[in-house]
Amino acid sequence: MTPHPNLAQKASRGIVMTMGGLWGRALLQMLSTIVLARLLTPADFGLIAMVAAVMGLAELVRDFGMTGAIIQARELPERVWRSLLWLSALIGAVLATIVALCAPLIALLYDEPRLVGITLLMAPGVFLSGLVMPLQARASKELRFGVLATLDVSTMAAGVVAAVITALLGGGFWSLVVMAGVQFLVRLIVLWVIVRPRFGPPRIVRETWPLVGTGGSIFGAELLGYAEKNIDNIIIGTQLGPTMLGQYSRAYALFLLPLQQMNGPLGRVALPVLSTLRDDGDRYRRYIRSAALVIGYLTLPTYAVAAGVAQPLVLLLLGPNWSVAATIFTLLAIAGFAQAIGRLRTWIYISLGRSHRQFVYDLVARPMVILGYFFGIWWGGINGLVITYGIISLLLLVPGFAFAISGTFVRGGDIAGPILRPAIMAGVAFCASFGVTRLLPQPFAIVEILIGCVAAVLCAGVLFLIPGYRRDAGKLIDLVTRMRGPKPKEPDTTPSAPAPAGADEPPLRRHRRTR
């Protein structure tokens, strides 16, 4: 498969469009959190989190890694595509039925009878997702990032409006169920109109099974990752109850925002682009270095500053009943650093077709994190669980990347080099924001947040007097230039360099030599 002649610019513009869509979605999600946190109780959020842990597992089984398999496939003939539509719909219908039948068992697990009704109403979402997945994967494979960005905003807006109206009418935790259901429906309708799928006769052709095999390895790794990210909810829910789980779930939702709104756009663009470049080692490495640089400077300082001003930030967003969530959010920043950087490892595995190797690694690493949950909650309650989770996640980065790049053309310096300086900056930013908010407490949360952010910016800004940081800034500026610059008037058919940010060498001039 020949890379697109304007792949560099297409990737950069894709990041901008995707980031705009996900940031719009984040704004709506934040607005809904602010409003619903004042209309609902922590226990309401905890009840939904209990069911969400099981629903997410069903959704993961339903996908079976097929999203990643579709994206990394070099070619996808129409008859294979139709087979995937039927297969995904069938699996979704079966799993939705299983989830509904398991509703009494879920209620028994948590000793909470209200979970029966919640599970029964949320179960059809698995079937709807089975229809949505192949449509969205195809749009992503075709690099239709603008469409997907618009879809992110529209589905979130519809869900938020429905949830707020339901909560104002006294619906309680049902408003959160309504929000999820409306989002599924809107996403399905819009994608159906855009992609216009043709199912054809209900059959699964032979060429579909290699994709299922690839998806199986991706699924195995994702299943272990899901267990790592959701067993904590089960432990907290069964040991500490829905109120504490509600506090944890809101803190975790805030914790995920930087990953979803910053790393999310990069990942949606990076996977199809890196899969296209798997046979060009030099250009693949340049893209990885550039992606690592963007992740480092966007995500790590953001987590650091948010953790530093967590107390006034959570007070402003959620209100006075969520002080426990503020402490949890601060501690989750440790895991945030690890997860932000760890996304690169997943991209390498999937784009290079090494999903089987990823599964082998996760068989060892994920259980270590899960065991850490049990140790952490025994050692220090919910705070002990969060601290243990973060420390183990950080420690696993080194062996994780070493195993991922072994036998490939990617080098350790391609990951560590671009991340080192932003990691130092993140430490400086946290110390500044945390210290100022503790030394100079303010009567108004918004003032305290602003003072903490200004202190972080001033202290971190001093680092740009160092030549290495100035070089990094130049590369990031080059990214902005690519995003805003006009398209070449007469592009050649030879691939261009794909870096979303400036690579280690002057990219615009040197890349032109390869066109």
Judged against a pLDDT cut of 60, whether residue 515 lies above it is answered with no
CB 393 within 8 A of CB 335: yes
415-446: per-residue pLDDT in tens? 999 999 999 999 999 999 999 988 877 778 88
CB 56 within 8 A of CB 226: yes
Judged against a pLDDT cut of 90, whether residue 476 lies above it is answered with no
Q: Mean of the pLDDT values across residues 241-246?
A: 89
Which sign does the torsion angle of CA 31, 256, 147, 203 carry? negative
Q: Which residues contact 128 (CB under 8 A, 6 or more apart)?
A: 92, 184, 185, 188
For the record, the structure tokens of 292 come out as 């690592």
Poorest-confidence range of 17-21, 158-162, 449-453? 17-21
How far apart are alpha carbons 268 and 44 in whole angstroms? 32
DSSP state at residue 75: -
Please calculate the CA angle 112-116-119 and round it to the nearest 5 degrees.
115
Poorest-confidence range of 63-72, 308-317, 333-342? 63-72
Poorest-confidence range of 179-193, 257-271, 279-293, 485-499? 485-499
**Which pLDDT does position 340 carry in this prediction?**
87
Burial of 383 (C-beta count, 10 Å sphere; 0-12/13-18/19+): middle
How far apart are alpha carbons 312 and 314 in whole angstroms? 6
CB 327 within 8 A of CB 310: yes
Judged against a pLDDT cut of 50, whether residue 514 lies above it is answered with no
**Which pLDDT does position 386 carry in this prediction?**
95
Q: Mean of the pLDDT values across residues 295-314?
A: 90
Provide the CB-side half-sphere exposure for 23 (13 A, CA).
8
Closest among 342, 333, 329 to 292, alpha carbons compared:
342
Question: Which range among 37-46, 369-378, 504-513 has the greatest average pLDDT?
Answer: 369-378
Judged against a pLDDT cut of 90, whether residue 401 lies above it is answered with yes
For the record, the structure tokens of 317 come out as 């967003």
Query: What confidence tier does 13 reach under pLDDT thresholds 50, 70, 90?
Result: low
**Which pLDDT does position 55 carry in this prediction?**
82
CA 495 to mean position of chain CA atoms: 29
Query: What confidence tier does 21 reach under pLDDT thresholds 50, 70, 90?
Result: low
* Rounded percentage of the chain residues whose pLDDT exceeds 70: 75
Q: Mean of the pLDDT values across residues 266-280?
A: 74
Question: Which range among 163-172, 198-207, 276-285, 314-323 has the greatest average pLDDT?
Answer: 163-172
Please calculate the CA angle 219-99-63 and round it to the nearest 5 degrees.
25
Alpha helix positions (H), 102-207: 103-110, 115-122, 124-141, 145-168, 174-195
**Which pLDDT does position 261 carry in this prediction?**
63
| Other beta carbons within 10 Å of 203 | 11
How far apart are alpha carbons 299 and 340 in whole angstroms? 7
Judged against a pLDDT cut of 80, whether residue 8 lies above it is answered with no
How far apart are alpha carbons 416 and 243 in whole angstroms? 40
Higher pLDDT, 484 or 249: 249
Cα-based distances in Å from 179 to 121, 184, 350, 508: 12, 9, 32, 45
| Other beta carbons within 10 Å of 267 | 19
**Which pLDDT does position 306 carry in this prediction?**
92
* Average pLDDT score over the chain: 79
Q: Mean of the pLDDT values across residues 393-416?
A: 91
For the record, the structure tokens of 488 come out as 């070449």
Alpha helix positions (H), 396-411: 397-405
Poorest-confidence range of 268-277, 322-331, 405-414, 421-430? 268-277
Higher pLDDT, 428 or 110: 428
Judged against a pLDDT cut of 90, whether residue 384 lies above it is answered with yes
Query: What confidence tier does 491 reach under pLDDT thresholds 50, 70, 90?
Result: very low
pTM above 0.75, yes or no: no
Burial of 483 (C-beta count, 10 Å sphere; 0-12/13-18/19+): middle
Q: Mean of the pLDDT values across residues 173-178?
A: 91
Judged against a pLDDT cut of 60, whether residue 454 lies above it is answered with yes
